[in-house]
Structure 1
Amino acid sequence: MATATAAVRPEGRGAPKEATRATAALQALNFFMADMQAGIGPFLGVFLQQKGWTSGPIGSVMTAGGIAGMIMTAPAGAFIDHTDKKRWVVIVTGICTVMASFLILFSQSGVIVTVSQVATAIAGAAIGPAVTGMTLGIVRQRGFNAQNGRNQAWNHAGNMIGAGLSGWLGWKFGMPAIFYLAAAFGVLAIISVLMIPEKAIDHRAARGLESRDGDSDEPGKAEGFRTLLRNKPMLILAAALACFHLGNGAMLPLYGLAVVGAGKGDAALFVAQTVVVAQAVMIVASLLAMRMAAGRGYWLVLLISFAVLPLRGFLAGTFIEHWGVWPVQALDGIGAGLQSVAVPGLVACLLNGTGRVNVGQGAVMTVQGVGASLSPAIGGWLAQALGYHVTFFVLGSFALISVALWIGFAGTLRRACAGMDGAAEDEAA
């Protein structure tokens, strides 16, 4: 931790106490924003199912939100690179997310649910790059891998506790209680982001305009957007993530629908259990990813994350049982936990010095969003036509393309994924 703390003290910037306060507030923000950002999140499917919706339309409205988020991620990243009001981006979009979720509570019409999902996705597209940008601006490139790993561990912990509370409140008081919990977490997230001292954020370092010796105050100019298209490792990464999320995006909501629809679990409690199991594993996986990346680079971390989805699809299609949540969601936790650290860390490394780090984050999210946004619709209609068993086998198989890409271009990717200047020292601390 000492090395990472030193990295947040460029000349003329915040004092050590402010640096410590900023990183602590970042971790609190990641904890509370998890439930605020998701809102009803994974509970949406069973909530709408209770209101008479079928799996096809449920998947379609989720896809509508995914497409909206996909379209907005790159522009949102470009805006985060440009603005020095990153804290206010988190505050405003967080409020919008909570308000959009409450729309569903008062009306379950197709139009209202679709508008809510679109608004939530657009807000989420801005929150992610904003938090990543603030982290990079506070701890710089040298401290980013370690601090991002801690951020993700706290984020997964927030998801786990939020889902557990949501399940208990939904069982005890009904589904509407979940919305009020999301609002409470939203207030605490806003308080957390306001605790980050503005002067602790170096906005040039936040967009990747930092020289190799760590001096982000020297003259520098952002490169053109074409630098993203010329970066072959990042293009391969985006394609592999798109295929992975094409299979992964619908797995959790469909497994919840399959088990609850078969009468093998209480709706609120079972969905909460699926999230809690996955997020508990993600906490451990994100911390392990931080260590693995520092010692061996990001290539192996991402290969493992891609390889777990085919196994997850096989288990989900074979065992549609209440107890199946443990192996199915543990594998989800491994894949998502590893990627939550490796993807932003690798993009920040690949684009360091270009001034386009956050738009790069948004661009990668956009491409992987193609898969994630199509997945619920494909999965929902497949389940309606062929049944859940076949659907899970098909969804899991999409990640085989990701594995093939990652291994096929291993020569190029290994060198790029190992380019983590200074990360090993941060991890050793």
Structure 2
Amino acid sequence: MNTHHTDRRNEWSLDWLNFFLADVRDGLGPYLAIYLLAVHKWEPASIGLVMTLAGVAALLAQTPAGALIDRTSAKRSVVVAAALMVTCSCLLLPWVTSFGGVALTQTVSAIAGSVFAPAIAAISLGITGPKAFTRRTGRNETFNHAGNACAALLAGGFAYVWGPIVVFYLMAMMTLASVVTASMVDARAIDHDVARGFIPGPVGAHAHPSGVRVLLANRPLLLFAVCCGLFHLANAAMLPLVSQKLAQVNLQMATPLTSACIVAAQLVMVPMALLVGIKADRWGRKPLLLAGFFILPLRGVLYVVSDDPYWLVAVQLLDGIGAGIFGALFPVVVKDLTQGTGRFNVSLGALSTVFGLGAALSPGLAGLVVQAAGYDAAFLTLASIAGTAFILLWLTMPETRNDSDAARNAPAPGIPPTLFS
């Protein structure tokens, strides 16, 4: 078999797998809030509680999911099974009306969705190796954001005509496409030792620490986990809160305008992910992370300036910068801090558990603040948490880039650096 042809096929298969999984990996996301508010007339606190319960389930599943991906050689099958479980759980919602039923379906969806991040990261690392992982991760995130933007555009247009329920069927179509693209990745191209961050030799051959031990013994990894947890505690509830505000102003336009918010952010995330993939090895991880973390408190403050739908959509553009940088750098930093341990994916899962805790608590916290003091108070509360995360990252987190990464990506003498070098 032609090796170059196989490599190109795997590259494009990973690209389109990330594209189609974009609408599947997070379930209904902010559309769940609109659906429950518009169709079932739920209160914001009840919506927040369901989303929090699902988030807690995902939180508990993250580390076991990472351990599963470390151990299994059937990584593609795990992705396919999880995509089908997420979609089937969400497709049940039109026939489920009780709080318990909705909470159960979203809990199952969240547990299944917890395997996507470590599985995609492991497949990518196993195919490319650590030297090309930063670029591959940037490319993964680029296609993921492009898929989110495309799905949101379709959801907004279709929902305007047929109502919020259309997002369920759009997810089903994306799931089928993701199953096809996952099967196109050549399983023989995945080095499963490399995929878990294992380095052959005296260290790699005998070091098999658990995910918890790696996390607790590695101070930079622990600091990064805390920063990530605060980041998601501040970030996760912002878009659902915006969606609820839009629904109160104009119920018919709530889903299309939420889609506009998502599309606006995702379109900005595409160049941000490309930038990280191309430049993170040269510029370092920390400067880019600081830029991404600074955007979040600024965004929270700007949301209180106006309730105008167009202003809210415009502010959502900032989410594209912060989340685009964070999403592309997260697996890269974890790879930096765990390389050679053989426990990359379980550590990725452990950190996902920490920031998943923040994401799970965020909607519930925001919903309580909304009911007690209004939407503006909720946005300012989230902004203050985001500011704390930025300061902690700035003062305590070291640079994780290896010197070999910088040397490998430095421009040749006499040749000026360019964005696409």
Give the alignment's TM-score, normalised by structure 1.
0.91
Tell me whether 1:134 sits opposite 2:123 in the alignment.
Answer: yes
d(CA) in 1 for partners of 2:264, 2:340: 39
Contact 2:214 2:347 in 1 (8 A): no
Equivalent residue for 2:8?
20
Give the superposition deviation at 1:108.
2.4
Instruction: Judge conservation of contact 2:164–2:255 (CA < 8 Å) in 1.
Output: yes
Alignment-mate amino acid for residue 69 of structure 1: A
Query: How many matched pairs?
Result: 409
User: Paired residue for 1:57?
Assistant: 46
Runs of 4+ that moved beyond 3 A: 216-219, 420-429
Which of 178, 183, 186 in structure 2 is aligned with 1:189?
178
Residue 244 (structure 2) pairs with residue 257 (structure 1): yes
Q: CA deviation at 1:367?
A: 0.5
Give the residue type in structure 2 aligned to 1:116. Answer: T
Amino acid paired to 2:209: G
How much identity, in percent, do the aligned residues show? 36
Q: Which of 203, 213, 233 lines up with 1:246 in the alignment?
A: 233
1:120 aligns to what?
Answer: 109
Question: Which runs of 5 or more residues in structure 1 are unaligned?
Answer: 1-12
Q: CA deviation at 1:146?
A: 0.2
TM superposition shift of 1:112:
1.4
Question: Using a 3 Å threshold, how does the CA distance of structure 1 residues 423 and 70 change in structure 2: closer, same or farther?
Answer: farther
Q: Partners in 2 of 1:217 and 1:17 — Cα distance?
A: 35
Alpha carbons of structure 1 residues 407 and 72: separation in structure 2 relative to 1, 3 Å? same
Give CA-to-partner distance per residue, 1:161-185, whole Å, 9 cap, x none.
0011011111111222211110000
Shift of the 217–138 alpha-carbon distance from structure 1 to 2, 3 Å rule, reads farther
Task: Report the Cα offset of residue 339 of structure 1.
Answer: 0.6
Alignment of 1:254-333 (within 5 A): 254-263=241-250, 266-333=253-320
CA RMSD for the aligned pairs? 2.0
Cα-to-partner distance string for 1:323-351 (whole Å, 9 max, x where unaligned): 12333211111111001111100101111
Distance 1:305 1:261, change over 3 A: same
Gap change, CA 1:21 and 1:297, over 3 Å in 2: same
Matched, 1:36 2:24: yes
- The TM-score, its normalising length taken from structure 2, stands at 0.93
Query: Where do 1:97-246 residues align within 5 Å?
Result: 97-210=86-199, 220-225=205-210, 226-246=213-233
Give structure 2 stretches of 5+ with no counterpart: 411-419
Q: Give the whole-Å Cα distance in 2 for the aligned partners of 1:124 and 1:287.
A: 24
- 1:78 counterpart = 2:67: yes
Q: How much does 1:385 deviate?
A: 1.5
Per-residue CA distance 1:52-101 (angstroms, 9 max, x = gap): 10100000000001111011101100110010000000000000000010
Q: Say if 1:308 and 1:335, in contact at 8 Å, map to a contact too.
A: yes
- The residue that corresponds to 2:417 in the other structure is none
Gap change, CA 1:400 and 1:356, over 3 Å in 2: same
- Looking at structure 2, the residues matched to 343 and 293 of structure 1 have their Cα atoms a distance apart, in angstroms, of 12
Counterparts of 1:184 and 1:235 in 2: how far apart (Å)? 39
User: Structure 2: how far apart are the matches of 1:200 and 1:420?
Assistant: 28
Residue 418 of structure 1: CA displacement? 2.2
- Which SS does the other structure have where 1:307 is aligned? helix
User: Which range moved further: 284-293 or 180-189?
Assistant: 284-293
More displaced stretch, 108-117 vs 157-166: 108-117
Q: Distance in 2 between matches of 1:40 and 1:343?
A: 23
Does the CA contact (< 8 Å) of 1:168 and 1:268 recur in 2? no
- After superposition, residues 346-361 of structure 1 pair within 5 angstroms as 346-361=333-348
Alpha-carbon offset, residue 265 of structure 1: 6.8
Give, in whole Å, the separation in 1 of the partners of 2:291 and 2:83: 32
Pair 39,224 (structure 1): closer, same or farther in 2 beyond 3 Å: closer
